[in-house]
Amino acid sequence: MKNRLKYISIIVCSSLFLTINVSALSEKQILPVNNSSFDDIDIVEMINSVNESKVLYYYQNLMKFGVRYTGTSNCTMAGDWIYNEFEQIGLNVEFHEWNFEKYKSKNVVATIPGKDFSSNAIFILCAHYDTFKISPGANDDGSGIVAVLCIAEILSKYSFNHTIKFIAFSGEEVGTYGSFTYARDAYNRNENIVAVLNLDIIGYADTSEGGKILRFFHEEPSTWIADFAKTISSKYIDINDMNIENLPNYPGADNQAFVDYGYDGVWIAQHDPNQVGHSKNDTLEHINLTYQIKATKLMLAILTELAIKPINIQVILRTPLKGMGYFNDNPFIELPFAKYYWQRLRGITIAFGRPTAKAEVICKEKVRYVIFTIDDTFIFWDDTPPYEWKIQGKFYPLIGRHTLKVYAYSETGEMHIDQMDIIFLTLSYQYGKW
């Protein structure tokens, strides 16, 4: 087995020099903002519920634990405190325990179940409560945890179409291990996570321009989240003067593990540089409460608007499975690349031969057809479930890294895309044809 893993690792590293495509779900169609079916939700009132006393309460209590490096008693106690806060505001809460490399810790997960029983969609608002090994972590990432707790407290009084999960991760500063294990486990449970909003360093601004901007870092398939956020920021600009800036992806944050397992996710951070990051000076005195409050208000509005929108069509690639090695249709090994998050190897799929792509379509009306492509080349379409396709190239044999996409269209013209990257290690050949 060790020799086999070594052989696969060598081949994969060589293949990465070939054509590289982004791995993730693609854009989701979100309907125009309209709260008509949720008259009991006054988002302006919810936004105005975020105030300095609430923010300071969470900051001051979190900072009592000092440096919260993963694996230390301080980190464990901070996780217990977060659990108790979620519990006191009346949310269903649980620990997600993880053990990876030399670290062992717990994520804290609180849930508001969706009230639309026809929807299994999940929206995640998250941050990390661990810190760098010498830092008390007020901004990195106490600011994110404070926002998550504030928003959870306010939203706990309401119900929404779709499920909302508030997650406090540990293990971010040692390799994003807490978020990785959670994303992997959620993928293995077939959870329908539509969007991950990861708050990490949102507590400081030192320029007038920066004080009005929140940054969304993402890959192309998650662009729809940033675009939606821009719409919401404009909607509430008169009461919360803050805009969204759309930037390219940064792979070192907690949303990345979800992206690697096929979910859409963004890293959300302040505009101005974090001058005290990863240092002993990352204390409450260096937090700009005005900026923190504005960022928290905007994220509350964005999450609420997402959670009340109907989702009319989704397509999900169910196979090939992510993070697995395949021989034709047989997944025979879980690939050993979980810690290589900077190399974008988490969740990668490797195929010997021709696996079958299987797509599930969730649609509130009739599905018109489903289209499969390789590297954006139309190859196969189907109008009858189950939607399946034996993967192969159209004009060339598949070798190296390629992007598989599936498109689903409804009768009224709505469309949704899912995609994944696969590294093919053998030429696809059948019945004398490539």
292 and 408 assigned to the same domain: no
Domain boundary, last residue among 262, 288, 308: 308
**Better pLDDT: 322 or 345:** 322
Strands 163-169 and 192-199, how do they pair?
A: unpaired
169 and 264 assigned to the same domain: yes
Q: What average pLDDT does range 144-169 have in this prediction?
A: 98
pLDDT band at 343 (very low <50, low <70, confident <90, very high): confident
**The pLDDT of residue 7 is above 90:** no
93 and 197 assigned to the same domain: yes
176 and 265 assigned to the same domain: yes
pLDDT band at 408 (very low <50, low <70, confident <90, very high): very high
132 and 234 assigned to the same domain: yes
Nearest to 179 by CA among 168, 190, 163, 188: 168
Distance CA 126, CA 123 (A): 10
- Decide if 261 contacts 184 (C-beta within 8 A): yes
Distance CA 197, CA 144 (A): 11
CATH classification of the domain holding 171: 3.40.630.10
**The pLDDT of residue 269 is above 50:** yes
CA 321 to chain centre: 18
Residue 180: C-alpha distances to residues 170, 208, 278, 331, 421 (Å): 10, 36, 21, 21, 18
- Decide if 246 contacts 216 (C-beta within 8 A): yes
Q: What average pLDDT does range 327-346 have in this prediction?
A: 89
Q: What pLDDT shows up at residue 12? A: 39
Write out pLDDT tens, residues 43-94: 999 999 999 999 999 999 999 999 999 999 999 999 999 999 999 999 999 9
Distance CA 359, CA 397 (A): 23
347 and 395 assigned to the same domain: yes
298 and 318 assigned to the same domain: no
Q: Is residue 434 part of a domain?
A: no
260 and 347 assigned to the same domain: no
Q: What percentage of the chain exceeds 90 in pLDDT?
A: 83
Q: What average pLDDT does range 220-235 have in this prediction?
A: 96
- Decide if 350 contacts 264 (C-beta within 8 A): no
Q: What average pLDDT does range 360-383 have in this prediction?
A: 95
Q: What pLDDT shows up at residue 356? A: 97
Q: Is residue 33 part of a domain?
A: no
Q: Identify the weakest region by mean pLDDT among 26-40, 192-206, 363-377.
A: 26-40
Average per-residue pLDDT for the chain: 90
158 and 271 assigned to the same domain: yes
Q: Is residue 361 part of a domain?
A: yes
Distance CA 421, CA 412 (A): 29
**The pLDDT of residue 30 is above 50:** no
Q: What pLDDT shows up at residue 5? A: 42
Domain boundary, last residue among 308, 327, 342: 308
Q: Is residue 129 part of a domain?
A: yes
115 and 210 assigned to the same domain: yes
Write out pLDDT tens, residues 91-105: 999 999 999 999 999
Q: Is residue 31 part of a domain?
A: no
**The pLDDT of residue 359 is above 90:** yes
Write out pLDDT tens, residues 178-217: 999 999 999 999 999 999 999 999 999 999 999 999 999 9
Q: What pLDDT shows up at residue 431? A: 39
Q: Is residue 34 part of a domain?
A: no
pLDDT band at 344 (very low <50, low <70, confident <90, very high): confident
270 and 168 assigned to the same domain: yes
- Could you give the number of structural domains in the chain? 2
Q: What pLDDT shows up at residue 136? A: 98
Residue 282: C-alpha distances to residues 11, 69, 227 (Å): 43, 14, 31
Q: What pLDDT shows up at residue 10? A: 40
Q: Is residue 212 part of a domain?
A: yes
Q: What pLDDT shows up at residue 3? A: 46
**The pLDDT of residue 392 is above 70:** yes
**Better pLDDT: 273 or 26:** 273
Distance CA 370, CA 387 (A): 7
Q: Is residue 273 part of a domain?
A: yes
Residue type, 40: D
Q: What pLDDT shows up at residue 39? A: 53
Q: What pLDDT shows up at residue 285? A: 96
Domain boundary, last residue among 308, 328, 355: 308
Find the domain containing 47 and state its range.
43-308
Q: What pLDDT shows up at residue 397? A: 85
Q: Cβ neighbours of residue 330 under 8 Å, at least 6 residues apart?
A: none
Q: Can you give the C-alpha Rg of the chain in angstroms?
A: 22
pTM of the model: 0.90
pLDDT band at 41 (very low <50, low <70, confident <90, very high): confident
Q: What pLDDT shows up at residue 340? A: 83
pLDDT band at 393 (very low <50, low <70, confident <90, very high): confident
Distance CA 268, CA 198 (A): 6
Q: What pLDDT shows up at residue 430? A: 44
360 and 272 assigned to the same domain: no
pLDDT band at 111 (very low <50, low <70, confident <90, very high): very high
CATH classification of the domain holding 348: 2.60.40.10
pLDDT band at 426 (very low <50, low <70, confident <90, very high): confident
Q: What percentage of the chain exceeds 70 in pLDDT?
A: 89
